[in-house]
Amino acid sequence: MASPRPGLGRRAAPVLFLAPFLSLFLATLVAPIGYAVWMSLFREQAASGLGFGGTETLFVGLDNYLRALADPGFRRGFAHIALYCAVYIPVMVGGALTLALLVDSALARAKRFFQLAYFLPHAVPGLIAAIIWGFLYTPGLSPVIDFLSGFGADWEPLGPDAVLFSMANAATWQWIGYNMVIFYAALQAVPRETLEAAVVDGAGQLRTAWSVKLPMIRSSVVLTMLFTAVGAIQLFNEPEVLRSRSSAISSDWSPVMFIYQAAFTDHDYGLAAAGSLLLAALGAVLSFVVTKLGNRWKEA
């Protein structure tokens, strides 16, 4: 009986180790994306004009994509998200970086306490956080608004001019501590001898933070900006929860809300699949742009 070829088991070992991951990857990512692509090419419609004949599935090619791009609500959702990103991303990344630098400062005390305190809002589920902020933004229920009203301040956080900033504030409150922990962990990897050399050269805390610490954690900053940007274009919880309290938020205020309405209200699954893939394509392009700009900044 011929013996197995030497090295066969060694070659098969990586396949066996990767098999569980590849199986889950195919089942939870590749297969759903493939099914979404297939759904986006079809549309269901009534089999007869009176609707008594049930529905039939028709192949429409790229028509669902053209319908999504031609829909004013879908395009308006991307305009809202662009404005939201312009407000949210700089505040989020800048705020988290500032907090991390403050906690990492040699003058800071009780560092573990502040790390936990800043991170705790992230432990609150996004839907619950949106509901909490909905109460805080509601006149008559919010102690903040009542307090400001006592001084004659007329602030309407869910009005047309402020609702975008209110949503950005709610999202920042939840995620700034999470990003701060990422930056703080990166700062801990900065060589102590480099910081000591900066002190010896006469650099103060601000100079050290700007000229030494920040350049050495550029990779973490770029990664956080990428995650923040991709997460921002998927905005859903805040506008969906606040929609019942604000006339300025429509049912298709963001692209994800448009997709949700198309799928679960209008039952137009082909349009919803096409919108989802267009949003995924935007995320891929945004990831490429942020990565490219980040690499240039790291090489500068």
Give the model's pLDDT for residue 276.
95
Query: What's the mean pLDDT in 28-52?
Result: 81
Poorest-pLDDT segment among 11-20, 214-223, 271-280: 11-20
Query: Which two structure tokens, joined as six digits, stand for 152?
Result: 């004659």
What pLDDT sits at residue 54? 61
Using pLDDT thresholds of 50, 70 and 90, give the confidence band for residue 15: confident
Cite the DSSP H helix spans in the chain.
8-25, 31-40, 63-70, 72-104, 111-119, 126-136, 143-149, 163-188, 192-200, 205-208, 214-216, 218-232, 237-242, 255-264, 269-299
Confidence at residue 261, expressed as pLDDT on a 0 to 100 scale: 94
Q: Side chain identity at 265, as an amino acid letter?
A: T
Looking at residue 17, its pLDDT comes to 86
Angstrom distance (rounded) from CA 14 to CA 16: 5
pLDDT for 122 equals 92
The per-residue pLDDT for range 223-268, each reduced to its tens digit, is 899 999 999 999 999 999 999 888 889 989 999 999 999 999 988 9
Span 164-186, pLDDT tens digits: 999 999 999 999 999 999 999 99
Percent of the chain residues topping a pLDDT of 70? 92
pLDDT at 192: 85
CB within 8 Å of 232: residues ≥ 6 apart: 81, 84, 85, 88, 89, 171
Residue type, 184: Y
- Work out whether strand 55-59 and strand 42-46 pair parallel, antiparallel, or are unpaired: antiparallel
CATH architecture of 63-122+175-299: Orthogonal Bundle (1.10)
The per-residue pLDDT for 290 is 86
pLDDT tens digits along 114-165: 888 999 999 999 889 999 999 889 888 888 888 777 777 777 888 888 899 9
Please state, rounded to an integer, the average pLDDT across all residues of the chain: 87
Confidence bin at 73 (pLDDT 50/70/90): very high
C-beta neighbour count of 108 within 10 angstroms = 11
With b for 16 or more beta-carbon neighbours within 10 A and e for fewer, the 7-45 pattern comes to eeeeeeeeeeeeeeeeeeeeeeeeeeeeebeebbbbbee
Task: Enter the pTM of the model.
Answer: 0.86
Task: With cut-offs at 50, 70 and 90, classify the pLDDT of residue 74.
Answer: very high
Going by C-alpha positions, the residue among 91, 117, 119, 83 that lies closest to residue 239 is 83
The better pLDDT of the pair 153, 60 is held by 60
Farthest-apart Cα atoms in the chain, separation:
95
Residue 84's pLDDT is: 95
What pLDDT is stored for residue 108 in this prediction? Answer: 72
Give the start-to-end residue ranges of the domains of the chain: 63-122+175-299
Residue 216 has pLDDT above 80, yes or no: yes
Q: How far apart are CA 167 and CA 257, in angstroms?
A: 14
Q: Determine the pLDDT at residue 46.
A: 59
